[in-house]
Every structure is written in C-alpha cells, then in structure tokens.
A and B are shown apart, each in its own frame.
Chain A
C-alpha cells in the first residue's frame, strides 16, 4: 500500500508529531500566522487614520465643527453612554434589528429552501421575487410607517424587507447548485427524497447560505438606520439625524460608529461560526 508510508515519510521529514497530518498542520499554521498579521496591519491602518484625523483637526487643516476629531468623539461617546441616551438607543435599535433579522432568517431560509427544492414553486414566485429584489425597497419606508406605525413595527419591517432577499436568493442558489454526482450517489443507495435533502442538499447549501447571511447583516443595518432616519424618535439612526441637525458632529460619529461596530462584530461572529462549520473545506477559501 502506498499512501500511509508516504504520509509517514512526510511526518519524519517535517519533524511533526507522529499522527499529525502534515498537509493540514502546515497549511493552517501558516494560515494562522497570516491571519494574525492581518489583525496587526488592520489595527495599524485604523490607528494611522485616527492620528491623521486628530492632527489635521488640531492644526486647523479641516474645520472641527464639520469634521470633528477622534478625541472629541471619545468624550462624546462617554457622555452618550453615561448621561445621554446611548443605552436606550442601543436597546431600541438592537431590538428592531434582531427582531427584523431573526424574522428574515427564518422566512428567508424556509422560503429559499422551498423554492430551491420545488421547481414549480420557484417558477410561480420567481417574477415577483426578482421584481421585489430589484426594486429600491428602502423607498417603501413611508408606506411601512403607515402600515405599522412609527414604533417598533415599521423598523422591524424595514430590516426584514432589506435582509430577507439576500438570504432567500443565496439559499435557493445553494440548493440548486447541489453536486450532481452526489445526488446520483444518493440515488444509487436508494435514498428517498427526505434523505437526499438532509444528507446532500442541506449540507451542500451551507456555504452559500452563510454568504447570504453575511450580506443580509449589512443591508439589514442600513435598513434599520434609514427606517429610524425617516420615522422615529429614538434609536441610533434617530440620534445620527438629530445630532447632525443640531451640529453635534461628535455625537453623530459616535452613533455611526456604534452601528458600524455592531456590523463588524456580527459579521465576525458569522465568520467564526462558518469556520467551525466548514472544517471540511480546503483551506484558503474566502
């Protein structure tokens, strides 16, 4: 037999522990080093930008009134979360986002799987879905306010209509692009449709679904902010608008950064979950 001796040869040659898989160990260790370097470089980029911003404002190269400066933003941020409306805004906006996004996740996955699996359902709904997807859904906010009022409901609806489409489309694609060879394999073992769905379609669709979920986080947050800009009296989006209108530029940046930070954190969480789920994929995918 040829393969195990070759593996052992490698093991000895590379000085790895016996039983280690040389390919995987080597690749993922280098992958880890590159990831760590990425973190450092990213932090450096942020630090340089903030420093440049601060210096430009300090030496009067840009108008502080308009551009603010990081040190002021820091102070405004502290005030916002101690004496200001920060925590309340976070609660309000967080509730809107999580409710809308959760709904989009459930509906998007369910509908995406259904149209991916049943051809006729896809044909029935495809024109509507394409049309709705292509339309600027954010323009529906005034109408949603009429339907659901100025409170939580309209914002949940905005987040939902923003986030549901990427999830539906990527889920459908994931189901549709199932590996034909694996479908044939399952059929050869006399698998029924449920078994095929569970063992071939669903696991094969995961990478595509995760991509859709990541996209949905971004557009969902945009939906949340726009909803609050148009019709709200609290929340992060409302604070952005209010601070802008009252020339509290630092506060405006604080609220903006909280939204961006939440987006970055959630995307990172999805990425981490994906890495755990996708241990089977070759290294080096996005």
Chain B
C-alpha cells in the first residue's frame, strides 16, 4: 500500500532585494500510512500552509523530497486533494457544481461527475442545499462543500489546512466529529494541519508538533491512543486533557516532557 513520505522537506521563499531567502520549513520528515490520520500542529506563521502546499505540489521543495508510494512528487496529482483554509468556492457555481469541479477538471464524463458529486454532497450532509450558491451558505456549510469537493475524485490522501479555523467553537466541534465520520466512510489518509491543539489531538492517530519558524522542524511526534469512533465527550476525559497538555508544553518548548503522555496512555486503557 502506498504511503506518503516527507523526507527532510525544506521550503524557501525567495527574498526581495537580493536578501537571503526566507526558510519557512527547515527539514521536516514524517510519513502518513494508508488510512492514517496525522495531525500537524504548530503556531501561526510557522510554515504549516507552506508544508501542505509543498505536499500538494503547489510550492517547490528547496531541499528534501515528498514521495507517494515511493514515487517523488513534482506537482499536483490525482492521488492528493487539498481542503483549503478558506473555502475557496467558485461563487458562480452551486454547491453541486463546486463539488463536481475537480471531477470536471479530470475529465470525468458530465453525467458521472454529477452523480458522484451528488453522492458526496449527501455524504457531507448538504443534500438539501445542493442547488444553493456559496454566498447563501454558512461558514460551516462552505467548509463541508470544500471537503466534499476534495473527496469527490477519491484521492488517496487528503491535505487539510486549518479548515475549521474560521468557525465558531460550537460549529468547529460539530465539524470535527463530522470529519471523523466522513473520513471513516471514505478511508483516505489525512494530513491535517492546525494551530489548535485540542483539534489535533481529537482528530489524529498521531500529532506531529512543529517548532516555530523560521526553519520549522518536527519537535516531537505524539501518538494518540484513544479508540475510535471518538465522540465529543472524549475531550473532557482526564486522559485527553493530559495529552493535550503534553502537546501544549512541547509546542511551548517547555523542558518538562515526561509524565503527561504516558499518563494519558494509562488512563485510557
């Protein structure tokens, strides 16, 4: 089974005025196994979007490689799909038209594209809103469309860039649970980037903690032991709180990196 592998991935942005290039990401290595959900957490501006865009093939790697199933990635490809931070819906297309967009670009016959888009719209719970335009949708609904559009071409890996960051806390919680349900139904792997610690822990099989930029690297890779399916009540268990706390202290660069996550393991068993 193909896995997604980042090997010492480094991303530079050329500086203006002949200065040195700005190193956004400085050698990140990680793998995403088939069907795995990997959260990447890091402070705002540390290079999460850059990292994700490099995996998507939208931004070149200055050094290191991204490969899928052993084949190096040089540009966008059908095995990956991006869920953007801002929903980026085509405002002149309906929900259904937006979800069918990726299929149309891949030259899936129109009738089949519509049918698959329709199924995706149902899957994300927007069946009643299929003929609405984006400006008639709430932020949460727009992100559902964003997700459905990415899933429609059945990618092997879903790349998600803080898709719930702009939502209110309640909608955000609901969307996280929805995402887990939809992911379970689709069985793609997910690389999910966020600055929100609780979100990273709640969703992921593992949480990759990045250091702040410039030159972000992996600080630690924290396994998340909680059983699936997970529901919202999990967030209030002591084990969850302890693990989130551990991620927080890793992120903050604290020295103390011992007990909490072992304790989390014990308490959930």
Contact = CB atoms under 8 A, between A and B. Distances in A.
Q: Is this pair of chains taken from one and the same complex? A: yes
Interface of A: 1-4, 6-7, 19, 21, 23-24, 181-182, 184-191, 195, 199-200, 203-204, 206, 279-282
A19 B132 CA distance: 11
B43 interface: no
Interface stretch (B24-32, B81-89, B259-267): B81-89
Given A187-B58, A189-B105, A199-B90, A1 B135 contact: no
Contacts of B77: 190
B178 A200 contact: no
Given A181-B86, A182-B90, A190-B75, A195 B135 contact: no
A28 to B, nearest CB: 11
Contacts of A200: 90
Contact of B140 (A3, A19, A280, A282): A3
B135 A281 contact: yes
Nearest to B77: A190
Given A189-B76, A190-B76, A203-B90, A3 B58 contact: no
Nearest to B87: A181
Nearest to A279: B133
23 contacts: A3-B125, A3-B138, A3-B141, A4-B125, A21-B132, A23-B136, A181-B84, A181-B86, A188-B57, A188-B58, A189-B76, A189-B102, A189-B105, A190-B75, A191-B105, A199-B90, A199-B104, A199-B105, A203-B90, A280-B91, A280-B135, A281-B135, A282-B135
B253 interface: no
Given A185-B84, A188-B82, A189-B106, A280 B133 contact: yes
Contact of A281 (B86, B91, B141): B91
Nearest to B171: A2
> Range of interface residues on chain B?
35 or more
Given A21-B132, A188-B58, A280 B76 contact: no
Contacts of A184: 58, 84, 88
B240 interface: no
B101 interface: yes
Given A1-B178, A2-B140, A7-B128, 12 more contacts: A3-B129, A6-B138, A24-B136, A181-B86, A182-B90, A184-B88, A185-B84, A189-B102, A191-B105, A199-B101, A203-B92, A280-B133
Interface in B32-91: 56-58, 75-78, 81-82, 84, 86, 88, 90-91
A279 to B, nearest CB: 7
A1 B84 contact: no
Interface in B121-148: 125, 128-129, 132-136, 138, 140-141
Nearest to B153: A189
A195 B76 CA distance: 15
